[in-house]
Amino acid sequence: MKNLLITLVLIPFFGIAQTLEDLEYISPFNNSVAAIKKGNEWGFIDQDGKIIVDFRNDLILTKTDNGTYPIFSNERCLIAHHKDGVLYYGYIDKTGETVITPQYLNATIFEFGKVLALKVEKETIGYNDIFKKDVVNYHYFEVVIDEAGKTADHLTQLAIHVSPKDKNDKNPPAITSKMISENLVAVKDSNKKWRVKKIEQ
C-alpha cells in the first residue's frame, strides 16, 4: 500500500515536462541559450528546453553563419523600441529584464564585453511661438559602452547632425567603427581611412 501511494504521488510530477510545439525556427545554442520563433515573436530557451525569455516582438535579429535570429552575447541581447517615431536600441539580460534602456540610434552585439553604439543627444535651440513648442536639434556620436551601459569612450569627436524623425531612410544610421580586440577599436575617418584607437579604461 505504501509503495502504491508513492507511485500515485510521483506520476503527476513526471507528466509535467514542458513540451514546445508549433515553433517556426530554433537556432543553434549560443551563450548557453537558443532562440525560438513562433509567429512574429521570438523567445529563448535554456539547455533543458525551458523558456527563459518569453516570446516578444522587440528582439533584434543578428545575421550569423547559421542563419538570422536574436542572440545573446556577454549575457546581453539587443532590443529596440519606438519612441516618438524613432527606433532606439538597448539590451536585456537572460531574465528578459531591460538592463540598458533603449536610447541609441544604432548598436551592435557585445564583443569583448563592450559594444559600439550611436549615442543621440537632443539640443534645444529655440522656441516656436506659433506651434508652442521647443525647436530642437539632434546629433549623435559613435561611442563604446560597457555591459552596464556606461560610455567607455567617444570614437567621434565631431557630432553628426540628424533629425531622426525626418529621415527618409528608415534604416538606422550606420556604425562605421569596429572592435578588433578587447582594448582596440578601428575607427573610419571622413577620408574613409582607418585609425586604431585604444579604448580608455
In a domain, 112, yes or no: no
DSSP state for residue 199 in the 8-state scheme: P
In a domain, 47, yes or no: yes
Distances (CA, A) of 151 to 96, 102, 117, 147: 23, 14, 9, 10
- When mean pLDDT is compared across 21-30, 97-106, 167-176, the lowest value belongs to 167-176
Q: In the predicted model, is pLDDT for residue 16 greater than 70?
A: no
For the chain, give the percent of residues with pLDDT over 90.
58
Higher-scoring residue by pLDDT: 72, 138: 72
* Residue 1 confidence class, pLDDT cut points 50, 70, 90: very low
In a domain, 61, yes or no: yes
Total count of domains within the chain: 1
Beta bridge partners of 3: none
Residue 57's pLDDT is 97
**37-81 pLDDT per residue, tens:** 999 999 999 999 999 999 999 999 999 998 999 999 999 999 999
Distance from C-alpha of 110 to C-alpha of 145, rounded to nearest angstrom:
9
Cβ contacts of 96 within 8 Å, gap of 6 or more: 52, 53, 54, 56
Q: In the predicted model, is pLDDT for residue 12 greater than 60?
A: no
In a domain, 80, yes or no: no
Amino acid identity for residue 104 in this structure? Y
Distances (CA, A) of 189 to 151, 155, 183: 20, 10, 19
Provide the residue range defining the domain that includes 55: 20-71
In a domain, 196, yes or no: no
Distance from C-alpha of 197 to C-alpha of 174, rounded to nearest angstrom:
19
In a domain, 37, yes or no: yes
* Residue 157 confidence class, pLDDT cut points 50, 70, 90: low
- Determine the average pLDDT of the residues in 13-28: 73
Distance from C-alpha of 87 to C-alpha of 96, rounded to nearest angstrom:
19
In a domain, 165, yes or no: no
Higher-scoring residue by pLDDT: 13, 135: 135
* Residue 161 confidence class, pLDDT cut points 50, 70, 90: low
Distances (CA, A) of 161 to 59, 92, 135, 172: 27, 28, 14, 14
Residue 127's pLDDT is 81
Residue 160's pLDDT is 57
Angle formed at CA 157 by CA 116 and CA 106, multiple of 5 degrees: 30
Which run of H or E residues covers position 134? Answer: strand 133-146
In a domain, 173, yes or no: no
What value does the mean pLDDT of the chain take?
A: 84
